[in-house]
Structure 1
Amino acid sequence: MKKIKLKTLILVNISALFGIRWIAKSTSDSFGLGVAAIPMWFIFALLFFVPQALICAELSSAYPSDSGMYVWVKAAFGEKWGFMVSWLNWTSKLFWYASFMTFFTVNIAYMIGKPEILENKYLTVAIAVIVFVTLSILSINGLAKVKFLTGLGAFGSMIPAAILIILAVVTVFAVGAEPASSYTLQTLTPKMNGNTLVAISAIIFGYTGGEVVANFVTEIENPRKNYPKAILLSAVLVGIIYVIGSIAITSLMPTSEIKASTGILDAISIGAQNVGIGSWLVRLVALGISVSILGATVIYIASPIKMLFGSVPEGMFGKKLTEMNEVGIPKKAVYLQTAIVSLLLVATSLFPGVDAIYNILVTMTALTALFPYVILILAYIEIKKKDMIKDPVYIFNDNKNICINIARIVLFLCVIGIIFTCSPIMGDFKMNLIYEIEMIGGGLLVMLSGLWLWKKYEKRIQA
């Protein structure tokens, strides 16, 4: 079998980690860090991304499996917590789908030259629901029939990011316009408020995904040398892209005007005007991002469901939900998922506008996505303490105590990220009450529902 080379591994890492929407989310004053996001991307690349990716690589080499986290956690804590990590991974994707669909609607509005559509939050939510239902129906038939979407999605995030950076450079250095933001020690230092805390959790979430690429560690050429090198180089490159992208967007727009949902397209629009390019560029970028969203979503609609239903013990879910169609997808489970995501989108219409809706969904995604990482890191610590890894293809560090202590730092950051997402950041008491109910209540509901399902399963097999 042909081995994965270092260059390919770096590109896969960058593709899996970089998302252009995080640039606007992190630099916005609303739910963001403003200019202070610039150093934070580098700090958390080193403190969070690199160690969690290397931890996942060691676990993956010791317990190679397509079910990833489920197998690793099961090895440490047994079947129950293996199920819980799969359950939490799937439920976090529900909020990811909803936030991604809202972001898609934003890009569609800009693509057709009608951004005013976004002023109607009910229409925006309705479009998001219709698109997700359509993609869910398409995904049931298998990837072969929607391959064209994933192919067209190659436009991705990197080309729009490059356009944003080039426009900013030309605006400042060729046109001679003053940067819209000031870069001083004071502005680069995060302010300790609710927006900052929520934004830090989003940056941590933006660096999750080490477990995805780690599953290929056994297929890598010289993994002991190349895997950590690829992780470090990827972290540096992704960090640089986020930093330069953050400088670009804040040089074109003051942070007070950047919106998480529309900031990238607004900044490109300003940059295009500065250099005399028409609105066609913004529409083209919006089209590319829209297509990449469709391609990514249609791939991920079925895969977390297949992981959950394919790894948990038989009898955990009813036969109707686990029954596979001719292409190996649990059709009725996809229908259930579609209904839940649609309800989530409808529920967010309680908030004042599209940007608030998008921010809530992204924050809820960050909150729930960090739950499985807490269990995963605890499992790694347990495995290292008990010396359960024998002759792995890759090992994080030969010193067991160093590995455990670094894992504890990553665990601490995950817990802090979860706590930070619940900071009250809405404009008034009523909105904060709704926000806290959705954040804390939603998180508890996700965890307790998984534990309830397991308890029901135990009673069933004991009967």
Structure 2
Amino acid sequence: MAGAGSGAHPPRVLGFTDLVLFYVVTGISLRWIATAAAAGPSAIVIWIGAMLCFFVPLACAVIELSSRYPQEGGLYIWTRQAFGPLAGFMAGWSYFTSNLPYFPAVFYFDAGNALFIGGESWRHLHDDPAYFMLFSLVALAAITALNIFGLRFAKWMNNVGAVGMWLPALIVIAMGALAWTRFGSATDFSATTMTPSVQIKDMLFWASLTFALSGCEAASFMSGEIKDARRTIPRALIVGGAIIVFCYVVGTVAVLVAMPASEVNTLQGLIQAGAATALKLNMAWVIVPLAILITIGNLGAASGFLGAAARIPFVIGIERSLPPVFGRVHPRWGTPYVALMLQGGLGALFVVLGQLGTGVKGAYDVLVSMGIIAAFIPFALVFLAVIRLQREPAGPEIWRLPGGRVSSTALACLGLVTTLAGILLASMPAADEPNKPLAVAKILGLTAMLLGIGWAIYAASRRRAAREAAFA
């Protein structure tokens, strides 16, 4: 594919190792370990359930669909092939917009963890909206600029960020194991405490843990920039997926060994647990390096998602369902710079919108819920696309599960049901939200606004195309 007006295309620069690290940095978000630990030992069972009911079906769907259609565009291409241009556009648009609340949410978490770098002298900022907004805006500008310079540079941010994701988790896990042997666990792990509650107020975070296991779809947006995508994506996803699940489950256990669930702060959970454990073990020196690693890891994750999601308006721009300017690549760096600047600019807007009328934690909860709903809509379409595309023949180059059509359809149905349940749960406000009507209005209203804008843009592009055809 050629960029509109440029005749160029981003080069293939991602190999197997780069892709494994990309999956790790976009698949592990340390904030979800904190969210899970705050719910107590029952989160471990929910992690396992989310892995079986969502992660495995999604990973299998990505492997099969990316081998069927290995070109740039990922789920936009898959849903377009299955259901036509409008469905493809809305899936791509919804996924693209889901990253807008994602960026401020992950930066708010990152800002909270970064406070541990400065020690007690920085802690007074833990509930300062101005600090969190400034941190988010500066970080967003930095990763946008890096991605405009190209994946040959941005991939190093992603790779270093991957280390900043799994290494802190391993450090906390190792310290937690050592503390357990010396002092015992701060949390009781028993059949009773590990049994999930089925009360609605306790089920709300199930959607968050399920959403945490997404990310394996992101690299497929950049398939045109992956070396031998048909072979590299499945192998890298299997390795990266194993690392992701291990870090989430065992990382949650490590946090709960360090402190009771009631003391876990969802904006600082992992570093908070690491600091508490380090002080118990007389290893206070590890706190600042741990905070630096976590800060870098989250920046790498945001950079990876920004680069991947920006390929959606880039591909749609090439196909002229968006103005052709989005299909342009930079004449020097060969990147979809217009799409990247749009992603960064809208992300900055959501930093401001998410904060209006609420505190830091309230803004974080609204942004998380919005991101889940907007991302789960295209996931539902991906699972439906797997079912629909089983009618197409599968050649030897296509990766299939044992059992072929039957097993692919069954797993897609399981993933679809889980995704729809996640959308329903994410629509509800957090139990401790003081202004629940406002929270629901923000979540549903902003989500509807984003989808409505997408439909209006698509309709306008179709009318423009019809007028151009009439005068041709």
State the TM-score, normalizing by the size of structure 2.
Answer: 0.85
Cα displacement string for residues 56-91 of structure 1 (whole angstroms, at most 9, x for unaligned residues): 212222222222212221221122222222212211
Residue 138 of structure 2 aligns to a residue whose secondary structure is: helix
Which of 126, 132, 135 does residue 134 from structure 2 map onto? 126
Equivalent in the alignment of 1:288:
293
Which amino acid is 1:423 matched to?
A: M
Identical amino acids, percent of aligned pairs: 24
Q: 1:159 to 1:129 in 2, by over 3 A?
A: same
Which amino acid is 1:371 matched to?
A: I
**2:163·2:297 contact (CA, 8 Å) conserved in 1?**
yes
2:235 is equivalent to residue 218 of structure 1: no
Which amino acid is 2:401 matched to?
A: F
Equivalent in the alignment of 2:166:
158
Q: Which runs of 4+ in 1 moved over 6 A?
A: 7-12
Equivalent in the alignment of 2:414:
409
Residue 162 of structure 1 aligns to a residue whose secondary structure is: helix
How far apart are 1:345 and its partner, in Å?
1.3
Which amino acid is 1:285 matched to?
A: L
Which amino acid is 1:400 matched to?
A: R
Cα displacement string for residues 412-456 of structure 1 (whole angstroms, at most 9, x for unaligned residues): 10111111101232436x611121112111222222222221111
Alignment of 1:9-408 (within 5 A): 14=24, 16-28=26-38, 33-113=39-119, 114-144=122-152, 149-150=157-158, 152-153=160-161, 155-174=163-182, 176=183, 178-212=184-218, 218-219=230-231, 231=238, 238-278=244-284, 280-312=285-317, 314-326=319-331, 327-350=333-356, 352-384=358-390, 386-408=391-413
How far apart are 1:269 and its partner, in Å?
0.9
Residue 197 of structure 1 aligns to a residue whose secondary structure is: helix
Which amino acid is 1:160 matched to?
A: P
Which amino acid is 2:231 matched to?
A: E
**1:110·1:286 contact (CA, 8 Å) conserved in 2?**
yes
Residue 400 of structure 2 aligns to a residue whose secondary structure is: coil
Q: Tell me, in whole angstroms, the C-alpha distance in 1 between the residues paired with 2:165 and 2:86.
A: 38
**2:20·2:240 contact (CA, 8 Å) conserved in 1?**
yes
**2:44·2:253 contact (CA, 8 Å) conserved in 1?**
yes
Q: 1:235 to 1:131 in 2, by over 3 A?
A: closer
**1:302·1:329 contact (CA, 8 Å) conserved in 2?**
no
How far apart are 1:335 and its partner, in Å?
3.6
Equivalent in the alignment of 2:444:
440
Cα displacement string for residues 195-246 of structure 1 (whole angstroms, at most 9, x for unaligned residues): 433311111111123334676662259x7xx79xx74x76565434322211
2:466 is equivalent to residue 454 of structure 1: no
Residue 324 of structure 1 aligns to a residue whose secondary structure is: coil
**1:197·1:423 contact (CA, 8 Å) conserved in 2?**
no
Q: 1:238 to 1:187 in 2, by over 3 A?
A: same
Which amino acid is 2:37 matched to?
A: T
How far apart are 1:300 and its partner, in Å?
3.7
Q: Tell me, in whole angstroms, the C-alpha distance in 1 between the residues paired with 2:299 and 2:243.
A: 26
Which amino acid is 1:209 matched to?
A: G
Name which of structure 1's ranges 67-76 and 323-332 shifts more when overlaid on structure 2.
323-332
Which amino acid is 1:61 matched to?
A: S
Q: Tell me, in whole angstroms, the C-alpha distance in 2 between the residues paired with 1:338 and 1:12.
A: 20
How many residue pairs match? The answer is 446
How far apart are 1:317 and its partner, in Å?
2.8
How far apart are 1:93 and its partner, in Å?
1.4
Q: Tell me, in whole angstroms, the C-alpha distance in 1 between the residues paired with 2:85 and 2:26.
A: 28
Which amino acid is 2:446 matched to?
A: G
Q: Tell me, in whole angstroms, the C-alpha distance in 1 between the residues paired with 2:326 and 2:21.
A: 37
How far apart are 1:131 and its partner, in Å?
2.6
Name which of structure 1's ranges 66-75 and 333-342 shifts more when overlaid on structure 2.
333-342
Q: Tell me, in whole angstroms, the C-alpha distance in 2 between the residues paired with 1:128 and 1:39.
A: 33
Q: Tell me, in whole angstroms, the C-alpha distance in 2 between the residues paired with 1:88 and 1:72.
A: 14
**1:80·1:454 contact (CA, 8 Å) conserved in 2?**
yes
Which amino acid is 2:106 matched to?
A: F
Q: 1:324 to 1:241 in 2, by over 3 A?
A: closer
Q: Tell me, in whole angstroms, the C-alpha distance in 2 between the residues paired with 1:399 and 1:148.
A: 37
Q: 1:449 to 1:134 in 2, by over 3 A?
A: same
Which amino acid is 1:23 matched to?
A: I
Q: Tell me, in whole angstroms, the C-alpha distance in 2 between the residues paired with 1:8 and 1:293.
A: 17
Residue 261 of structure 1 aligns to a residue whose secondary structure is: coil
Q: 1:333 to 1:75 in 2, by over 3 A?
A: closer
Q: Which runs of 5+ in 2 are unaligned?
A: 1-14, 468-472
Q: Tell me, in whole angstroms, the C-alpha distance in 1 between the residues paired with 2:132 and 2:407.
A: 49
Equivalent in the alignment of 2:430:
425
Q: Tell me, in whole angstroms, the C-alpha distance in 2 between the residues paired with 1:339 and 1:194.
A: 36
Residue 192 of structure 2 aligns to a residue whose secondary structure is: helix
How far apart are 1:328 and its partner, in Å?
3.2
How far apart are 1:372 and its partner, in Å?
0.9
Q: Which runs of 5+ in 1 are unaligned?
A: none
Q: 1:307 to 1:198 in 2, by over 3 A?
A: same
State the TM-score, normalizing by the size of structure 1.
Answer: 0.86
**2:37·2:253 contact (CA, 8 Å) conserved in 1?**
no
Which amino acid is 1:435 matched to?
A: A
